[in-house]
Structure 1
Amino acid sequence: MLLRSVWVLWLSCVLIIVYVCNCGSVCEVDLRHRTVSRRVEEVLTVLRDLTTEVSKKDGRFQSIAHAGVNNENIKDQPAMVSKWAALLRGRCSFNPAIQVLTSSLVLVSVPVRGLIGYHQHVARQWRYYSLTGSILPTPVREPEKLHQWLELESFTSPAQDWQDAKVCVEGDIVPAKVVSLFREQLETAILTCSFSGKVSILESVGSVVRVAIETVEGVMEAELVPTVELINYWPKKARWPRLLQRWPTTERARCIKSFGFNLMATSNYHWLLSFSRAEQALLVAVDEDGGCRRKCYRVVRQLKEDTWCPGTKPVITAFHLQTLLFWCCEKFPCGRDWRCVKECVLRVARKLLKCVSQRYLRHYFVRSYNLLKYSNTTELDHTAQKINDFIANPSLYVH
């Protein structure tokens, strides 16, 4: 009887081997994670030097070393810094300035300095100016649900240099102008830091600065976005947590909201709401009950990168999968629902298939916004077919 029990236990462990194309074990998923982490750390080292140099030339921009609760704008809030440190104590190293979108692409938030005392107020509805400041006969398009205008009047103590026409038009801080200024400073910093052979600025779509960085293990691309970090303030658009929500706990949700949100300069006129600190706070404690949520996320992520939608510009990114994981955690809040990696991977895959097929994935904090609204429908259909093939016969992916 004992021998039989041992045999059943061993067989169960074997079945936990996950369905990853070109990779037959959880260990290889962890190996991929460590490899990407090394590349990201090398990229961060380069970007710290570059953004530090930019900050020396233009004090409106800070080094990415000062992102999150290390932002110089909140150095007078020791309680906030202490709370963040306590949350991450004993966890893996983390820089709140970076989001890994794929194994070869990262999104980097470059914090700005000099915008203090944010408060949300009713802004004027229409804008009739171009990026150069000239008058337009028709208004600029209104911001969508995950975007907003940003006025100098939103801050009690904006620094004088933010009123400069290089970044401001009619009282609005214009993201495209901020990005243009940052790009100029970055080009100079690359030469000053002697990174000409290691870092190159690429053509980019939208209001971001995209660079390619040579690392020991290959080229890594990074999208650098000037970011206004708003600590200890939660936007009205983010109606979270929801009524009767069982995950995360009320206490943790309250703590997460105190970390605030960001406004990122990702479009010409409108600032994008970002919740990177809140998302990290959710992730670091996601398996406190002994579940396998994080491992499940890594497995599904590798499936996406290797099989479902590979490439440097995939229609589904790590951010989409992270959002999906949060929704699954809400639906299955108990640790007992996250014991078997095999079952959990299939559960998340089915949920992803539903979202991709319907072309609808709600933002976790601003749930009225569809993250797949502007995604390429043909690519989504191809991805849905590959996910469906995996779910129909996952044994083909086991070695």
Structure 2
Amino acid sequence: MESLTEEAMKSYLMNKVGPRQRLLSKIVEEVQEIIHKLTKEISYRDIRFQPISKSGYHNENIKVLAPAQFVITVPIKGLLGYKKSQSRRWRYYSMSGSKLFSPIRDPEKMYQWLEINQFLKTLQQWHENDVTMDGDIMPAKVIEVFLKLVEDSVKACNLSNEVSILENFGSLIRLIVETSEFQVEIELIPIIEVLNRWSDKAKWPRCFSRWPSREKIQCVKSLGFNLMARSSYHWQLGFDRAEYMLMEGIDDDGGCRKICYQVLRQMKEDVWCPGNKPVITSQHLQTILFWTCEKYPHSKDWRVFRKAFLRLVRKLYKCVNQHFLKHFFIKETNMFQYSSKNELDAVAQKLILFLKNPVLQQD
């Protein structure tokens, strides 16, 4: 174990972060191959779903939450020209289509309703009853259709030895994919990509914010957002492209933000929160980085690794200890809302020990 010197950091990057990157690159490539084959068959059976392309380690549809935990988004076709709903109305239907006496609750901050008439151009298939209810496109119905396609396509592609479908948990589709190294659990999410339009719910950038630059903000917002089928009635907002763009060129000023993030992620995976389904994921760490960049926007704040890294660890500890991490784009949302408090507390204790004796664990 070594203290947070520049030499220790470089050694850690070479001996720990580098091998992880190479391993994950191999795993992602294997998973991509399987998911490409699977989604190609799905798209052949139902043109409403696009196949996942094979595009190397940085595939915008694949998010690595942990080495054995991926999220893969499957873009939906045939819904173009998204526009905001002009009116608010109450819904009185159940998932089965029966009439309710009281209206369905309004969506939370990270969710929204989605009506078929919010799109200027639509495939006729999106008007069918298998995915709509009373003019709404229902994520639960989309998931039901998609799950059946996944099941049939696994058989059709002879992927039963590589892919296992886990028991459906709520409105989630989860797979186990066998790789040459270990099993990877994957959540498959059908998404609608809304391009060249920013979500009205995302009040970003914030007033007086000096990070990122105006040019980067315009670029990020032009990438739009996603609507993800992850619940029964409401579509969840996602900002994968925006987050990826924020990470791109994050150290163009010569800072060490990305290195700090990589070391933070490695320490999280090896020491603070290991395991196949950790309570803290790379998504949380990336959010920690974004908030810290916003608070410390100047180049001089990211010159010295030790100082910058400990700043990130302290921010992580504060959020984990309080069981509260604001989403970067929709700050009213707590990303730890449904996380195990006991697991978060266990991570907080490890972070305290590290902050008392900050050394990088090389073994």
Please state which band the TM-score falls in when normalised by the shorter chain: over 0.9
Q: Is the 8 A contact 1:19 1:397 kept in 2?
A: no
- 2:37 corresponds to 1:49: yes
Correspondent of 1:336 among 285, 292, 300: 300
- 2:239 corresponds to 1:272: no
Q: Is the 8 A contact 1:390 1:397 kept in 2?
A: no
Correspondent of 1:241 among 185, 205, 209: 205
Q: Is the 8 A contact 1:19 1:398 kept in 2?
A: no
Consecutive unaligned residues of structure 1, counting only runs of 5 or more, are 1-11, 68-91
Cα displacement string for residues 333-374 of structure 1 (whole angstroms, at most 9, x for unaligned residues): 222322233322211110011111112111111112111122
What is the aligned partner in structure 1 of residue 191 from structure 2? 227
What is the aligned partner in structure 2 of residue 379 from structure 1? 343
Q: How far 1:198 sits from its partner (Å)?
A: 0.8
Return 36-45 or 253-262, whichever deviates more.
Answer: 36-45
Q: How far 1:212 sits from its partner (Å)?
A: 0.9
- 2:11 corresponds to 1:15: no
Q: Is the 8 A contact 2:85 2:115 kept in 1?
A: no
- TM-score by length of structure 2 reads 0.94
Structure 1 distance, partners of 2:352, 2:86, is 46
Query: What is the total number of aligned residue pairs between the two structures?
Result: 362
Structure 1 distance, partners of 2:81, 2:360, is 56
Structure 1 distance, partners of 2:277, 2:57, is 26
Cα displacement string for residues 167-188 of structure 1 (whole angstroms, at most 9, x for unaligned residues): 1111111111101111111111
**1:132-171 matches, cutoff 5 A:** 132-171=96-135
Q: Secondary structure at the match of 1:64?
A: coil
Cα displacement string for residues 7-65 of structure 1 (whole angstroms, at most 9, x for unaligned residues): xxxxx998225589xx9555321211221122012101111111111000001111122
Correspondent of 1:37 among 25, 30, 36: 25
Tell me the amino acid that sits aligned with residue 39 of structure 2: T
**1:165-204 matches, cutoff 5 A:** 165-204=129-168
What is the aligned partner in structure 1 of residue 245 from structure 2? 281
Consecutive unaligned residues of structure 2, counting only runs of 5 or more, are none
Larger helix proportion of the pair: 1
Q: Is the 8 A contact 1:107 1:223 kept in 2?
A: yes
**1:125-136 matches, cutoff 5 A:** 125-136=89-100
Q: How far 1:283 sits from its partner (Å)?
A: 0.7
- TM-score by length of structure 1 reads 0.86
**1:287-366 matches, cutoff 5 A:** 287-366=251-330
Q: Secondary structure at the match of 1:180?
A: helix
Q: Secondary structure at the match of 2:184?
A: strand
Structure 1 distance, partners of 2:332, 2:252, is 29
Cα displacement string for residues 280-321 of structure 1 (whole angstroms, at most 9, x for unaligned residues): 111111111111111111111111112222222222111010
Identity %: 46
Cα displacement string for residues 112-166 of structure 1 (whole angstroms, at most 9, x for unaligned residues): 0111110002343422212121112222222100100111111112221111111
Q: CA RMSD in A?
A: 2.2
Cα distance change, pair 398–60 in 1 and its aligned pair in 2 (3 A): closer
Q: Is the 8 A contact 1:29 1:299 kept in 2?
A: yes
What is the aligned partner in structure 2 of residue 28 from structure 1? 16
Q: Secondary structure at the match of 2:53?
A: helix
Cα distance change, pair 269–19 in 1 and its aligned pair in 2 (3 A): farther
Tell me the amino acid that sits aligned with residue 96 of structure 2: T
